[in-house]
Amino acid sequence: MKGFTLSSGIGKIPYIERFIGVDTLSRNPLVMGRQSCKAVYSWGHKPYSKLAGLVANVFGRQHIRLEDGFVCSYGRSARRTKYSIVSDPVGIYYDATTPSRLENILNGLDTDSWQLSDLDVMREAEYLMRRTVDENISKYNIATDTAFAANDGASFVLVIDQTVGDQSVHYGGMQQADFDVMLERALSEHAADEVLVKVHPDVLAGKKEGYLSKQAKDRGVKLITGDISLHHLSQCKKAYVGTSLYGFELLMRDVPVVCFGQPFYSGWGVTEDNKPVSRRKHKRTLLELFIAAYVLYPRYIDPVTGADCELSDIIDHVSEQRRQLDRVGTNYHLVGFTPWKRKYVNRYVMAGEYNHQHIAINDLEGMPATSANDAASVLVWGRAAPESEAEQILGRHRVARMEDGFVRSVGLGSNFTAPRSLVVDDIGIYFDATRPSRIEQLLQHRDCSDDEVKRAESLIELLLENRISKYTHSDVGDVDQSFYVDKRVLLVIGQVYGDASLRYGTEAVDSNFKLLQKVRENNPAAVVVYKPHPDVVSGNRSDGIDNYDDIIDLCDHIETELSIEVTLNLCEQVHTLTSLAGLEALLCGKKVVTYGKPFYAGWGLTDDWCDFERRTRKRTLAELVYLCYIEYPSYLDIESGEMTSVEKTIYALVKEREMNSGSITAKGLKKYVNIVRNIRKGLTYAA
């Protein structure tokens, strides 16, 4: 099935074919002559849409108009991924001069109209409408949830302004005079100091012109500026609207609404209407309007997986974006990030929502110092040596630190592979045991619900089933595993020499060589396998052991071929300084012995050689997994630029591993070709 459009913009929308139900959307006119061509598509009432209608008539095809659905995207960024689109072969919902599919559904004329009275649909819709309100879901979800002292706490009414040129104004029966009448009506029915005019954000930004800003100022009426959330605006006692969707969003929050235009939700008995639409003959409840507009009319696509989904999934997704935004929560000075990192760091800290600035460390010297009570104002990568000049300067500021997450990528970070997860820690950083960190605070104080524990248990199964580690590797292939047959192996995990987790997380045993010595000393008869870090095996880093002949008496085998996921399953115990492989070994049910102070030690799940004065709480494995893999990190979908979950990240890693299995372990010239490709990808991250 094919479709035709005159618009290049429509064709650039991610997953557009899935949204409109065709295999291919083409701009080639030859498609029109094929039997497989389903329809001609245009965007609402764009200027070219009339021509699109003529083309459809000439070739005997349907003309289908597209528009954003009513829960469409998240954030202020210009590059907003669409979550829903409506496809209307009848008209379009904001055009009251002619019927639309939405109107036909409500008039009982559409094949889906029966669902308006279906008990199962109604029960689900009640739940969805309640979630939409409770979780403050709107069309573009750009508003903040900051406190709003409307009229200094006194009662107020809202008059909703719109932008000049808005198609819904023109096709919804509104003109400048109607907005003037709307304001006069509000002022005649309420005291002047009770009336507030909500100005469109684009008007405040100077991008567009509104209808009521000047009139309100001339009359001394207060203007509401900024992206104030519906949660706060719905505290009003009445709203006056032209055709704005705000009207329906306020209806869902039990606010009486007076319509001066003809929006899709007027004329059905739930609003006071100044311009009734004669075609709208049925009386409909608010729930029926919600079912028609939010459940039956749009099509929802998961922006990360590209699969069909439901409104409930999109609400979950918007809530996840908001949760990540709350975690960032400030305007950062980003210090010391390389150009390659900047692109994806900007996505993680939602630079489109904030005014982050990349500056040099020396630029901080002239800035006023911040106290421990201030919000973190500086974001840096990792942690340098305490005596370094950078840390001395940073010591005068409230700092948040960023590092790779624990489900990072297919391939190594040292090969410039972009990360799918990062952590932002406003207290410390997980590898620094010399002071508290956000993850330590979570593990010490955060309780986990039964649902969270169940999710973590499912996540453990998912990680193991798909052989996911921090740096996910290619399939096993034909690598020889005969050494491990009938042996009880103690696996010693090597780490990169100079790694910050060794500097900030070890005591007497602080190197790979000392670790091997200690393991052999305590287990003289055991079969000991030493596994160097993948960065060491690749030649990108050193583990501090210049000659492996020096450790020939300390281990029985050096494992450089098998991936960590496979090796963990072949051993009985894991001995480590601070490596994340210790946590991954816990997932596999292995005994883990730590000689340093990794973030997952000290909670009763590992045998520890060090003391942990601050870590006094005992944790289950599921609780540890929930807090370390779900609560602490942020996950970003590289393709869409949307924040996502660890579960969807795992599916993306599996897919990426299948597509790139031959290049993950590439060596020689091919390795450097891949590095160049990775750098280029990093510089255009989610672009």
pLDDT at 224: 86
pLDDT at 546: 85
Domains 132-301 and 445-659 share a fold: yes
pTM (two decimals)? 0.86
Confirm or reject CATH 3.40.50 for domain 132-301, answering yes or no: yes
CA 468 to CA 410: how far, in whole Å?
9
Average confidence (pLDDT) over 677-681: 64
CA 583 to CA 599: how far, in whole Å?
9
Question: What is the DSSP-derived secondary structure letter of residue 378?
Answer: E
Average confidence (pLDDT) over 21-29: 90
**Please, are residues 69 and 86 in contact by the beta-carbon 8 Å criterion?**
yes
Pairing of strands 489-493, 357-359: unpaired
What percent of the chain is predicted at pLDDT more than 90? Answer: 64
Domain boundaries, the chain: 2-114, 132-301, 445-659
Residues 644-661 pLDDT 10s: 999 999 999 998 888 765
pLDDT at 228: 76
> Cα dihedral sign for 529, 534, 539, 542?
negative
**Please, are residues 633 and 423 in contact by the beta-carbon 8 Å criterion?**
yes
Average confidence (pLDDT) over 225-253: 89
Q: How far is CA 397 from the centre of its chain?
A: 28
Q: Exposure of 661 by Cβ count < 10 A (0-12 exposed, 13-18 middle, 19+ buried)?
A: middle
What angle do helix axes 119-134 and 311-328 make, rounded to 10 degrees? 10
pLDDT at 414: 55
Least confident of 89-98, 213-222, 484-493, 533-542: 533-542
Which H/E stretch holds residue 218? helix 213-218
pLDDT at 673: 62
pLDDT at 182: 97
Residues 327-368 pLDDT 10s: 776 678 889 888 878 888 888 887 766 777 888 887 887 777
CA 233 to CA 250: how far, in whole Å?
8
390: confidence class by pLDDT, cuts 50, 70, 90: confident
415: confidence class by pLDDT, cuts 50, 70, 90: low
Residues 560-619 pLDDT 10s: 989 888 899 999 999 999 999 999 999 999 999 999 999 999 999 999 999 999 999 999
SS3 for 285-341 is: CHHHHHHHHHHHCEEEECCCCCCEECHHHHHHHHHHHHHHHHHHCCCCEEECCCHHH
Integer angstrom CA distances of residue 340 from 330, 346, 356, 413: 23, 11, 17, 12
pLDDT at 46: 93
CA 293 to CA 69: how far, in whole Å?
8
pLDDT at 34: 82
pLDDT at 153: 63
pLDDT at 685: 56
pLDDT at 286: 98
664: confidence class by pLDDT, cuts 50, 70, 90: very low
pLDDT at 225: 75
Average confidence (pLDDT) over 275-281: 94
476: confidence class by pLDDT, cuts 50, 70, 90: low
Q: Which residues pair with 425 in a beta bridge?
A: 401
pLDDT at 687: 46
Q: Compute the mean pLDDT over every residue in the chain, rounded to the nearest whole number.
A: 89
Q: Is the pLDDT of residue 218 over 50?
A: yes
pLDDT at 330: 67
Confirm or reject CATH 3.40.50 for domain 445-659, answering yes or no: yes
What ranges make up the beta strands (E) of 441-488?
471-472
pLDDT at 329: 61
pLDDT at 371: 62
| 421-441 CB burial, b ≥16 within 10 A, e <16 | bbbbbbbbbbbbbeeebbbbb
Q: Is the pLDDT of residue 494 over 60?
A: yes
Q: Could you tell me the two tokens for 367? A: 């800035």
CA 379 to CA 54: how far, in whole Å?
55
